[in-house]
Structure 1
Amino acid sequence: MELKKYKMFINGEWMEPSSGEYFPSYNPATAEPWCYVAKGSSEDVDRAVQAAHQAFLHSEWASMTYTERGRLVRKLGDLIAEKADELAQFESLDNGKLIREMRGQLSYLPEFFYYFAGLADKIHGQTLPIDKKDMFAFTTREPLGVIAAITPWNSPLYLTTLKLAPALVAGNTIVIKPSEVTSASLLELMKLVEEAGFPRGVVNVVTGFGDPVGSTLTSHPLVRRVAFTGGAESARHIVRNTAENFAQLSLELGGKSPNIVFEDANIDNAAMGIIAGIFGASGQSCVAGSRAFLHVDIYDKVLQKLVDRVEKIKVGDPFQSDTEMGPLATEAQLERVKQYVSIGCSGGANLIHGGKPPENLDKGWYFEPTIFEHTDHKSRITQEEIFGPVLSVIPFKDEKEVIELANSTDYALAAGIWVSDIAKAHRVSKAVRAGIVWVNTYRSISPIAPIGGSGLSGYGREGGYEAIHDYTQSKVVWVNTSTEPIPDPFIMR
């Protein structure tokens, strides 16, 4: 059977790549190609950016009111709701996530479009109490222009939405470069962008590899903002690229997030939260709770609960309803996880579960849920992001010690705290260095809540009202209300 070929979406049209070349996208569950994707070039990027720039300046989009733009974004949300199951299937095919997880995620995704659509006509400035009697001054917030969005392979549509929805309601245009590993679901979404009625050039997708597509896009002189989600090494390249165009930049990178369980916690819930945090999505999440800190008084009890439940996790076909862990998204990621497990074993950590691909699965990029016990928190597998189903379990004695341990990495994205003492919950959530803190829960999301971190976890925020400010810029307007002649022109007023 001939595999489907995906063209690029530029200026409202489905375009062949200028090179004429396509590359395969693989189904992680079978390790076999299931479609082909256009291999973009610098020429394709320039076409897309030029189209977005013209749409920003001269198209129907430029003259729309914020309310009208909000209606279009809401309509796109409605179309996603109608096609949620179909889009979920494309995501599972492309990145190997559980179909039931993707159905849940895609059915919730419209809420992000509805939230930002509701904010569209609430983007406003303020009047300023200027200290000059003959002046009236006010601010407005205006769109930036062309936005470049670089999205990863672990949750393509969700992480694209965090950029696309606020960028559009703020009045910008956008060029999206999806991961070369998972481009199909985003290209399927472009069919809905067409159906919603967005003017030509407002939303564009150029597929391909970091070099040349990503590097050309992030350094393009017409790009005004780059929104990137991915790894630290790619982020370093992007930071250097934006030195060329002085584009604003936000980076949502990785994490080495702590999940802290105090002695008064509900240990059943804590164990389930730890499992959700690291084995949900096969550990391929920026907020993965890859370090579990257990108070010494309940250490053995919680660890046994973890092991008992992890032994029952069913690893297998992501399209089966009873599967709990699917494959890793790429062969390279599988090899990375294997390497880190080897580093952990040779470094003295105690491997108590997993550590290898399942023996009952003869194809696909699967790996068992893996648990290490640690005494050395400075080891590589407790300090470096693995981005796979590998959990480090570490004991602690008191609040002060665990805060020091939790903060002892270069990452600062997320943290979980499991505790009954509400005063302790507030103290620790304030002391832990993280942009997101969950108390007695983990991996909760909402369009209303911002996402982001600091250090190696990047900077800037996505989601929530704060995102609107990231996709607009402030302009101040001064109005002279006096009818008197202007005094000495060589003195600032």
Structure 2
Amino acid sequence: MTETNENYVHGEWVPSETGETIDVTNPANPSEIVASYQQSSAADATEAVDAAVAAAEEWRTTPGPERGSILREAGTLLGQRKEELTDLLVAEEGKARAEAAGEVQRAIDIFHYFSVKAADLGGTVKGPSGRNTTLYTRREPVGVAALVTPWNYPIAIPAWKLAPALAAGNTVVLKPASLAPGVALELAKALDEAGLPDGVLNVVTGPGSSVGNEFIENEGTDAVSFTGSSQVGEMVYEQATDAGKRVQTELGGKNPTVVAASADPAEAADIVATGGFGTTGQSCTACSRAIVHEDVYDEFVAELVDRAKSIDIGPGNDHEMGPQVSQSELESTLEYVDIAEDEGATLAAGGGVPEGDDVEEGYFVEPTVFTDVDPEMRIAQEEVFGPVVAVMKVSDFDEGIDVANGVEYGLSASVVTDDHTEANRFVDEAEAGVVKVNEKTTGLELHVPFGGFKRSSSETWREQGDAGLDFYTIEKIVYDNY
């Protein structure tokens, strides 16, 4: 019998007032229902916000070390449940098991990291101009934070928003993505067991049009953090700022890897393949453009095609690359394959649905390589969110940088080169929030800021590390004349 999960509101597990649920199926086997979740309404979201508002004063005045101890215990509980959380993530989102286990570990590490930060959170003492005066600052929580998170990293992204929000003394309402909400609810279970007071965290599943909108517009919320597509995120930003909220958005990408003439083609192909085909290309930082110097172009293409063809595709527990998360995501990727061919790009590898017993039922797609791509083609300009890499030939390094910057996104970018001058030029000139040298575009350290330029971000507040705490705190300056 399929398990039916409830919302977590004011420390209790409760059903939606709608009485309706939504089934989440396994993308590797869509006939398999993994679990059912609440199809919640705006009224359910309002109840969650009310609970967060009611709990705000108690949590705000809880000492930082005490808040940190709860986060630390929650991280420990998540570690004890790592295998079952990995199972759930693979079943709902479809990731290959190694990728899913890495994501769960990332969430554990985030909770442990911010458990320490909670104890250190304070202010600074400054020298006053006058005598008999103490001048200092205090960092205080913003209030109630509304978090809206995506399906592609269904435990890591909720964790890196939730942990700093709680560490800083905010209460939280969270709406996880409906395609894979299970692991976000497991975060709530761990925090509840760790001793989080009632109402400090509230998790409501359901549509963005009802739950998400209410979280954003309700007068009880003070800050909004959203990760998702640029199109939706820009609407969220406008909606939240119109309501007077503090807001951060982390959005889409069209991430390039520039392969210089000095690069080793095999090494460059490894870097591009890992960045482009890992997580089935369903990462905002995935490499979707390889911009290759003409001197190494042919050899690079041959190496990349070999890697694309060698990837083992199938259900995530037993294979190197899992399915796309849904039928609509698969159809979108296949549509971009058709668009690229219609525009004149050459299909060098993949481009279709694989065959075989293991992939017969799910939303599987082949790792795909296009060559002879013009930088103005849609395949080179628009986010695909699937395992598709467009390869473009350039005549020199200057042209490579121009092509890399010639899109409306600016999230992550990398360069493969043995020339130190080129590496430093790329760091200086690449229009991206994350820049890497001789590394894949994917993969982030949890203790440094993350965010993009242009349409990849609201360019307001960064996530992760100390920057993550900045978003969830506001500074008070104190003049104490004694």
Whether the 8 Å CA contact 1:221–1:244 is kept in 2: the answer is no
In structure 1, distance between residues paired with 2:398 and 2:281: 28
How many residue pairs get matched? Answer: 476
In structure 2, distance between residues paired with 1:179 and 1:105: 16
> Displacement of 1:353 after TM fit?
1.0
> Displacement of 1:132 after TM fit?
4.6
- 1:37 corresponds to which residue? 37
Which has the larger displacement, 359-368 or 224-233? Answer: 359-368
- Normalised by the length of structure 2, the TM-score is 0.96
Are 1:431 and 2:429 matched, yes or no?
Answer: yes
Cα deviation digits, residues 53-99 of structure 1 (max 9, x gap): 11112x3x333211111111111111111111111111111111111
Whether the 8 Å CA contact 2:346–2:373 is kept in 1: the answer is no
Cα deviation digits, residues 194-231 of structure 1 (max 9, x gap): 11111111111000001111111111111111111101
In structure 2, distance between residues paired with 1:139 and 1:108: 32
In structure 2, distance between residues paired with 1:411 and 1:90: 32
Counting aligned pairs with the same residue, the percent is 36
Cα deviation digits, residues 284-321 of structure 1 (max 9, x gap): 0000110001111111111111111211111111111x
In structure 2, distance between residues paired with 1:367 and 1:247: 40
Of 101, 121, 124, the residue aligned with 1:123 is: 121
Q: Aligned AA for 1:389? A: P
Which has the larger displacement, 168-177 or 100-109? Answer: 100-109
Q: What secondary structure sits across from 1:156 in the alignment?
A: coil
Q: Find runs of 4+ consecutive structure 1 residues off by over 6 angstroms.
A: none
In structure 2, distance between residues paired with 1:309 and 1:404: 27
Are 1:453 and 2:449 matched, yes or no?
Answer: no
> Displacement of 1:36 after TM fit?
1.0
> Displacement of 1:397 after TM fit?
1.8
Whether the 8 Å CA contact 2:263–2:418 is kept in 1: the answer is yes
- How does 1:49-64 map onto structure 2 within 5 Å? 49-57=49-57, 59=58, 61-64=59-62
- 2:157 corresponds to which residue? 159
- 1:47 corresponds to which residue? 47
Unaligned 5+ segments in structure 2 are none
Cα deviation digits, residues 74-130 of structure 1 (max 9, x gap): 111111111111111111111111112111221243221121111112222223344
Cα deviation digits, residues 245-272 of structure 1 (max 9, x gap): 3111111101000011112223322211
Whether the 8 Å CA contact 1:222–1:245 is kept in 2: the answer is no
- 1:490 corresponds to which residue? none
Of 167, 170, 177, the residue aligned with 1:169 is: 167
Are 1:336 and 2:332 matched, yes or no?
Answer: yes
Whether the 8 Å CA contact 1:76–1:113 is kept in 2: the answer is yes
Quickly say closer, same or farther: Cα 1:468–1:23, change in 2 above 3 A: same
Whether the 8 Å CA contact 1:219–1:244 is kept in 2: the answer is no
Which has the larger displacement, 62-71 or 377-386? Answer: 62-71
Q: Which has the larger radius of gyration?
A: 1
- 2:138 corresponds to which residue? 140
> Displacement of 1:133 after TM fit?
5.0
In structure 1, distance between residues paired with 2:220 and 2:211: 15
- Normalised by the length of structure 1, the TM-score is 0.94
Unaligned 5+ segments in structure 1 are 482-493
Q: Aligned AA for 1:156? A: P
> Displacement of 1:426 after TM fit?
1.5
Q: What secondary structure sits across from 1:109 in the alignment?
A: helix
In structure 2, distance between residues paired with 1:421 and 1:381: 29
In structure 1, distance between residues paired with 2:310 and 2:38: 41
> Displacement of 1:423 after TM fit?
2.8
- 2:466 corresponds to which residue? 465
Of 83, 86, 109, the residue aligned with 1:85 is: 83
In structure 1, distance between residues paired with 2:238 and 2:12: 31
